[in-house]
Amino acid sequence: MKFDEYFKLKDLTLNITNGCNLRCSYCYAVDKNAQKMSCEDACVIIDRCYHNYELNKQEGDDEFSVSFFGGEPFTNFEVIEAVLKHSREKGYNISFGVTTNMTILDDHMIDIIEEYELGMLISIDGIKEIHDRNRCNSYDCVKNNIQKLIDRGLGYLLEARVTVMPKDVTHLVDSVKSIYEMGISSIAPVCVTDTKWEEQDFVNFEENLDKLWEWVFNLYNDSDNHKNLSVKMIEDYLEKVLLVPLNDYETKVCSAGSFTSCSIGVNGDILPCHQRHTVKYGYNNLVMGNILEDTDIKEIEFNNYTIKGAYDCNECIAKAICKGGCPSENYTYNGDGNIQNETQCLITIIMVNAAIKYQQELLTSANIRSHRLNVLIENLSLMRLLFDKVLSKEPFSQEFIAGLTQFYEKLLDAESILLPAFRNAFDTVIKDLVNISSTLLTDEDNNA
């Protein structure tokens, strides 16, 4: 199959360089080199991928998403700038982001970031001691560059990516706090699971994760706090736990390896995952084709719907939430993107248990400063209204009709923030109500 026959893209990662100015201790990229994508090739790739998106987009679909990746993308900033300008000139509806170590920044870059509202996922590992140990003594430089962006009023574009090593879990709360105090309100701690964790590391993680949840919800109960806060590992697992009754059992952790997503490297090679461009292991087996050479697309087994864990998945408390961990880490660790290692299993179980423990806090906190959590609360409130005011009443009684009218009014007001799982549930209930109505009307006609 050709590119447009196979893919129905919703997002793209553009790996614009294999080079990086740092050599971080835990980095999976072992094949760093000086290769960079050219501005011309980058624009050709964007044209081709956006055309594919336009071919397949449906009404209501989100805008096309493009992420610049590396290596360190800012070492090839001219490509970022060229793609942003090219896409605007073409009138493309694209949201752009970049993953960066934030050690390279000048006034011109800040101007471009501001003009095009370039979202930035910044690698910063919390407190100075940990960051400098892991990331080549770059903490002061990163912090200063973050401050420059905040001073320009661009803090809303920033998200911090905190890599959590097993030996650093005891500093989890301090790390998140330090980034929040820097002025970044969106924070994504991610545990490294393709390295060895000792038994005590899991104990430490469980204790310190509990402290993190407690700190976050204490903040959400502080009526004097006016600063937003979004901690991704908390929000992800709260949403997953609360949506379990509405979701089918799925085992796909991300879009890597699907026909809606791909990553394209400096030479045009198409891979299922952005992490694989600078990893030698299995590279040739994962190349699906080359977009610049318009080769046929090869289907690969990287991330499918069959997941095997280190334990019995059917008996696991996280079975409806886990979805198999990171397929790239699975592939490196086990030679198969669908087989999860023990560390990933245990980390997921710990995070699910924390979400179950604290889920009630979501509904009782007085001052939640997170857009995502407030959207979740609104969806849950709609669901409660449906059950309390409609489904608990005698069908088509006066109370039922009054409750249904109230529900429809609220539903219309909330149309823009309905989560897919809730939308599907509401559609199913409404369809059932229509069928009940038709049955009752038929019965009345027959009796007449």
For 250-294, write each residue's pLDDT tens digit: 545 577 878 899 999 999 999 999 999 988 889 999 999 999 999
Stated length of the chain: 448
3-class DSSP assignment, residue 446? helix
Local confidence band at 203 (pLDDT 50, 70, 90 cut-offs): very high
Q: Is residue 385 a part of any domain in this protein?
A: yes
Torsion sign over Cα 40, 45, 46, 52: positive
Q: Alpha helices, DSSP H only, in 91-138?
A: 107-116, 128-134
- pLDDT confidence of residue 235: 95
439 pLDDT more than 80: no
Cβ pair 223, 366 in contact under 8 A: yes
Q: Alpha helices, DSSP H only, in 290-419?
A: 327-334, 342-364, 371-386, 398-413
- Average the pLDDT over 318-331 and give the result: 80
Q: Is residue 140 a part of any domain in this protein?
A: no
Cα–Cα–Cα angle for 173, 362, 155, nearest 5°?
55
Local confidence band at 61 (pLDDT 50, 70, 90 cut-offs): confident
For 140-187, write each residue's pLDDT tens digit: 999 999 999 999 999 999 999 999 999 999 999 999 999 999 999 999
For 234-256, write each residue's pLDDT tens digit: 999 998 888 876 655 454 557 78
- pLDDT confidence of residue 194: 82
**Nearest alpha carbon to residue 358 among 275, 193, 235:** 235
Give percent of the chain with pLDDT exceeding 70: 93
What lies within 8 Å, CB to CB, of 436 at 6+ separation is 395
Number of C-beta neighbours around residue 383 at 10 A: 18
Cβ pair 173, 212 in contact under 8 A: yes
Q: Is residue 390 a part of any domain in this protein?
A: yes
Local confidence band at 441 (pLDDT 50, 70, 90 cut-offs): very low
- Average the pLDDT over 23-46 and give the result: 88
- Average the pLDDT over 8-20 and give the result: 96
- pLDDT confidence of residue 438: 54
Query: CA 263 to CA 99: how far, in whole Å?
Result: 14
- pLDDT confidence of residue 249: 47
Number of domains in the chain: 1
Q: Is residue 429 a part of any domain in this protein?
A: yes
User: Which residue did the predictor score with more confidence, 208 or 34?
Assistant: 208
Provide long-range contacts, Cβ within 8 A and 24+ apart, for 286-295.
286/331, 288/262, 289/3, 291/3, 291/45, 291/48, 291/49, 291/264, 292/41, 292/44, 292/45, 292/267, 292/268, 293/268, 294/2, 294/3
- Full domain range(s) for residue 413: 370-447
Q: Is residue 439 a part of any domain in this protein?
A: yes
Q: Is residue 111 a part of any domain in this protein?
A: no
**Nearest alpha carbon to residue 410 among 395, 421, 422:** 422
3-class DSSP assignment, residue 231? strand
Provide long-range contacts, Cβ within 8 A and 24+ apart, for 311-317.
311/342, 311/345, 316/345, 316/349, 317/349, 317/352, 317/353, 317/356
Which H or E element spans position 163? strand 158-164
Q: Is residue 10 a part of any domain in this protein?
A: no
Structure tokens at 262: 């791909």
For 97-131, write each residue's pLDDT tens digit: 999 999 999 999 999 999 999 999 999 999 999 99
Q: Is residue 135 a part of any domain in this protein?
A: no
Local confidence band at 68 (pLDDT 50, 70, 90 cut-offs): very high
What is the bridge-based pairing of β-strands 289-290 and 269-271?
antiparallel
**Sheet with 11-15, edge to edge strand ranges:** 230-231, 186-191, 158-164, 119-123, 94-100, 64-69, 11-15, 261-264, 269-271, 289-290
Partner residues linked to 11 by β-bridges: 65, 261
